[in-house]
Structure 1
Amino acid sequence: MAEKNSFETRRIQNIRQNGALLENLGVNQQAKVIHGIHTLEPARKKRRIEKSNTNLPPSRSSARIASAPSRPQYHEDALANAVIERKQTKSKSSKQRVSTTGIDFDTSKEVKLEVLTEDMDALQASWSSWEVVAPPPQRNEAGVFHFESHPDFTPNKSPEEMIREGCFGGSYFRPLFSKKLGITISNDWKELPPAWTENLNADTYLTSFAYNPDINKFKVACGQSIEEWEAAGWIDHKHDVRGWFQWYCRFSMGRRCEDDERQVSRWKKCVGPTGRWRRMLLKKYVGMGVREVFDDGEEEMEVSPVMHQTCHHWAFMVTQEVLDEYWTTGK
């Protein structure tokens, strides 16, 4: 009996010693705080708020709004995998990020200043001193353009059509500060043929400081900014400081340069006969059972307006001939 009492005494002493140790370590206090958090009232208040919202009438939604990106972005070289990855994952590094025109991009990707900036005056002069060396493209009955020098480059939207129908949120030719060159580029839209911009509000369709998705043909924002293109190294400053669309304008006007092959290759990868954006859009049509492309655009608005606008930015539109061919052959 004495042995049992001795054991009980030691057990009680051990409990007290352990309790004192936990108290000194702050474990008991932490447990009290955690317990207090779980017993607070906000959770019940939240449920009451959610319950009250169930009496509100449902709000309307549309395919255009549902498929629009969460923020306006200037379209550039945004391929499908990059877009999907951007939505589904967070940044995997803690590299410093900066904001330009409301868009974040990784400064580690910036292209460093090169020798081409040593004579800035000569560089800027070269952007407008080129000569017309190629004839205008020919357009067939299907609306496809054919360029004699590059038979594999077959867009079906001209630069003028893209501008007048609405592209890049009306901001493509806005005053642009180049981080690589350290200068601001402006008024270069004035080199466009007068016929392309006749009776057009340049402040709205070309040089708007604010990206306006309602200007776009499909009323949505898509893609990436020129600043992001520059940071990623996708712009050849020796030729077209604004990137793809500026190159396409000048190419259509008859200029030829060292960057032509690269730009045509990029177009083919995006919206060429086997381009991924083109194929993804056509698969959407088939998946939704849509067999007709209507002139008024209503049907296209229901079939991924973001993809339609992206393809439009790359000078391609789904036509009835293209859709019929895809339904028949899957190509």
Structure 2
Amino acid sequence: MSTLEQRRQENIKRNAILLQELELEHNHVKQQLQPKPLPAKKRRKLNVLQPTRSSARIASAPARPGYNEDNGAIARSGRSSFHGKSSPRNSARKALGEPLEVQSPEPESQSAHPDLESIKAGWNDWEPVACPPTRDAFGTYHFESHPDFTPNKSPADIIREGCFGGSYWRPLYSKSLGITVEDDWRELPAQWTSGLDVEQYLVNPDYNPEVNKHGVACGQSIEQWEANGWIAHEYDVRGWFQWYCRFWIGRRCEDDERQISRWKKCVGNTGRWRRTLLKQYVQRGIRSVFDDGENSDGEGRDVSPVVSQTCLHWAYEVRQEALDRFWMEAI
């Protein structure tokens, strides 16, 4: 074979190999450019919450659930849902405490509780069996029968300083009992209400925040407390403060432990709202407590008035020795 023919054959082989390589590369690029099929969308699972356990107490009213202070935590936003008619002033923020009183709704047409007479008899069928409390140097009250119950405000103090918007003892329609309760404020000792404007401080049909010591509204309606099962009707149809008044006078009953447990959770030594209020003092750098709630510079005046009013409803106010101890813990 001549040299020219040999070169021609080599060129043919080389071109064939080159074409083959070009074809392979073309196919590879073509595959790369083809869009990949999208993966099938997974059907999103709905995060369906399991229904929470409802209170049998609300439905059938035989047993009382334990009190949980978180259910009544301070509400700083959102609309309040009071049962019954309320004045425009009741749009103020709510806080944990004895219920925010509003005008009772018109009684609904329903039959009275089947055991109503025995329940009503229990409200008055008792005699004082305990001695009045003693008071220590720090202004704390001590009850011999219950040494772990140590409020520092008496019922008379709470009433006279201004509480519950002046409407705690208003005529109250109980949906659970099917009756309206009224005039039960008259069982209070005369010295507690002597010289007091009863219409303004006790039975006002409209909640008035200006009556309160700290000038703010707080709490939930008694109707809400009743719906939540927090009221033991056979003892105190109005709830905590009515229980405290009777306990102070000397009544003792099976509901005492429950009520004292509630008090501890709110304003006891480790109570949530007591510690919340003391933290406010520390955060603001306030080291002194004055009886009028304000020092010479006015720096104590605005220390959490809603929580302060709530604590007052639960028979507690910040005292100097408690604030000193709290400052020591904080340092």
Report the TM-score, using the length of structure 1 for normalisation.
0.68
Residue of 163, 172, 175 corresponding to 1:167: 163
Q: Which of 152, 173, 176 is the equivalent residue of 1:177?
A: 173
Letter in 1 for 2:276: M
- CA shift in 2, pair 1:227/1:90, >3 Å: closer
Greater Cα radius of gyration, structure 1 or 2: 2
**2:171·2:203 contact (CA, 8 Å) conserved in 1?**
yes
How far apart, in 2, do the equivalents of 1:283 and 1:135 lie? 35
Shift of 1:82: 4.4
Q: Separation in 2 of the partners of 1:118 and 1:292?
A: 54
Query: Where does structure 1 differ by over 6 angstroms across 4 or more consecutive aligned residues?
Result: none
Q: Give the counterpart letter for 1:261 in structure 2.
A: E
Where does residue 327 of structure 2 map in the other structure? 327
2:206 corresponds to: 210
Are 2:223 and 1:223 aligned?
no
Q: Does residue 100 in structure 1 map to residue 96 in structure 2? A: no
**Residue 136 of structure 2 corresponds to which residue in structure 1?**
140
The alignment partner of 1:301 has SS state of coil
1:259 is aligned, of 255, 270, 280, to: 255
Secondary structure of the structure 1 residue equivalent to 2:243: helix
SS at match of 2:173: strand
Q: Which residue is 2:145 aligned to?
A: 149
Q: What is the letter of the counterpart of residue 238 of structure 1?
A: E
Counterpart secondary structure, 1:177? strand
Identity over aligned pairs, percent: 60
Cα deviation, residue 81, structure 1: 6.7
Question: 1:150 offset after TM fit, Å?
Answer: 0.5
Q: Distance between the aligned counterparts of 1:78 and 1:151, measured in 2? A: 22
3-state SS, counterpart of residue 127 of structure 1: helix
Preserved contact between residue 83 and residue 221 of structure 2 (Cα < 8 Å): no
Deviations 1:218-265 (A, max 9, x none): 011011111111011000001000000000000000000000000000
Distance 1:300 1:236 in 2: 38
For residues 248 and 191 of structure 1, the distance between their equivalents in structure 2, rounded to whole angstroms, comes to 13
Question: How big is the shift at 1:323?
Answer: 0.6
Residue aligning to 1:274 = 270
Query: 1:309-320, aligned counterparts within 5 Å?
Result: 309-320=309-320
CA deviations 1:53-76 (Å, max 9, x no partner) are: xxxxxxxxxxxxxxxxxxxxxxxx
In 2, the alpha carbon distance for the partners of 1:269 and 1:229 equals 17
Q: CA deviation at 1:80?
A: 5.7
Preserved CA contact (<8 Å) 2:83 2:223:
no
Kept after mapping to 2: 8 A contact 1:171/1:205 = yes
The aligned amino acid for 1:165 is E
- Separation in 2 of the partners of 1:173 and 1:253? 17
Out of 171, 185, 188, which is 1:189 matched to? 185
1:208 is displaced (CA, Å) by 0.4
The answer (yes or no) to whether the contact 1:156–1:315 under 8 Å persists in 2 is yes
- How much has 1:120 moved relative to structure 2? 1.7
1-side partners of 2:184 and 2:77: how far apart? 37
Q: Which amino acid aligns with 2:324?
A: D
Q: Which runs of 5+ in 2 are unaligned?
A: 1-66, 92-111
Letter paired with 1:172 = Y
Q: Identify the match of residue 229 of structure 2 among 212, 219, 233.
A: 233
The whole-number CA distance in structure 2 between the counterparts of 1:82 and 1:126 is 28
3-state secondary structure, aligned to 1:262: helix
Residues 80 and 277, structure 1, Cα contact 8 Å, conserved in 2: no
The code of the aligned residue for 1:195 comes to: Q
1:277: how far off?
0.1
What displacement does 1:329 show? 2.3
Note the alpha carbon deviations across 1:87-113, whole angstroms, 9 max, x for none. 56799xxxxx88423389xxxxxxxxx
Amino acid at match of 1:327: W
* CA gap 1:220/1:254 in 2 versus in 1, 3 angstroms: same
